[in-house]
Structure 1
Amino acid sequence: MDPVAESTSGQQRTALRKLVEVFYERVWNACDDDALFAILAPDVRFRGSTEAVDRVGPEAFKMYRDAIHEKLHNYTCTIQDVVVDETVAFARVWFSGTHSGGPLLGVPPTQRPVRWIGAARFALAKEGSQIGDIWVLGDLHSLSQQLQDEAAAEEQPEEKSAPGA
């Protein structure tokens, strides 16, 4: 392979890895809107786990992010692995927070912590300096089970001791 092309390819992979890290650490965890608008292309397509809808544009993504933070207090994304190819990256991520806001997956707030794993695919926009496409697949079965178990636990009447016990 051409050493110049190999160097450019390596730089592009490093830049894409950095975009993925900024996406989770600053855009999601710190709710940094400046970072959001800096790293997402104007026509970015985002498909999150909790909706079967593509959102287009940074503003539409911001609405989704803010809605998740509203439902999950202290929502945090923790990157486990990132694998980068030329213009595409994949990340394995732990998502966590306390379900204290509005309903999530149809379950009213449980006031309890939840944690689930997911994977995301990132593709660079055509100009190559911003993210142009994000597709996330989370373990919604695990999340739903945690929410349902917690909701069911809240509905259980308190056990009363038997007389004389």
Structure 2
Amino acid sequence: MSNPTSVEIVEAFWDAVWNAHDPDAIDRFVVDDFVITSGGEDVVSKESFKEWVRNFLEKINDLNLEVIESFQNEDGSRVASRWRITGRNNGVLGTAADQRPIAFTGTAVWAVREDGKLLHNWVERASWELFQRLTGE
């Protein structure tokens, strides 16, 4: 059996953590000093990242992450993806938890270590557009 590509590792992470709603699955994929940079803010350490994911999952019921496309650089040290999240609003972006269907897109760039462990994730999402749809502004 061949080693998984970096894209396969990232997509397995998304399925195990986001689509299965299991923040503890993070332990299998990331290094202890993992960093996610979201909206220009760093969340540092595997444990802090797990808490960040738990908080995010609380705000979107029935969250589903659909990969639109992913690709990696030649040596597999970087993966870039476009994705779409759907679910029901449970208070995302400080809005009322009205359970309305929501959808938004985003991009992610991952740093992947040679052994397949995830080192860093830079993520941007269409939060402003989602907020406008939820608040009618």
Q: Does 1:92 align with 2:82?
A: yes
Q: Which residue of 2 aligns with 1:5?
A: none
Is 1:133 the equivalent of 2:120?
A: yes
Is contact 1:22–1:35 with CA below 8 Å preserved after alignment?
no
* Structure 1 counterpart of 2:9: 19
Secondary structure of the residue aligned to 2:17 is helix
1:59-98, Cα deviation, whole Å (9 max, x unpaired)? 1111111111111100111101001112100010001111
Q: State which of 46, 49, 57 in structure 2 corresponds to 1:61.
A: 49
Alpha-carbon offset, residue 16 of structure 1: 0.7
Match of 2:130 among 122, 143, 162: 143
Superimposed CA distance per residue, residues 100-155 of structure 1 (whole angstroms, 9 cap, x where no aligned partner): 2xx42232222201101100000113x54200000111111221112112xx8xxx
- Report how many residues are paired: 134
Distance in 1 (CA, whole Å) between partners of 2:38 and 2:12 is: 17
More helix by share: 1
**Which AA in structure 2 matches 1:131?**
L
Larger Rg computed on CA atoms: 1
Aligned to 1:38: 28
3-state SS of the aligned residue for 1:145? helix
Q: Structure 1: state its 5+ residue gaps.
A: 1-10, 153-165
SS at match of 1:65: helix
Q: Report percent identity of matched pairs.
A: 25
Moved more, 75-84 or 52-61: 52-61
**1:71-86 → structure 2 map (5 Å cutoff):** 71-85=59-73, 86=75
Partner of 2:92: 104
For residue 61 of structure 1, give the secondary structure of its aligned residue in structure 2: helix
> Which amino acid is the alignment partner of residue 133 of structure 2?
Q
**TM score, norm. by length of structure 1:** 0.73
CA distance in 2, matches of 1:58, 1:145: 32
3-state SS in 2 of match to 1:21:
helix
2:112 to 102, 124, 128: 124
Pick the structure with more strand per residue. Answer: 2
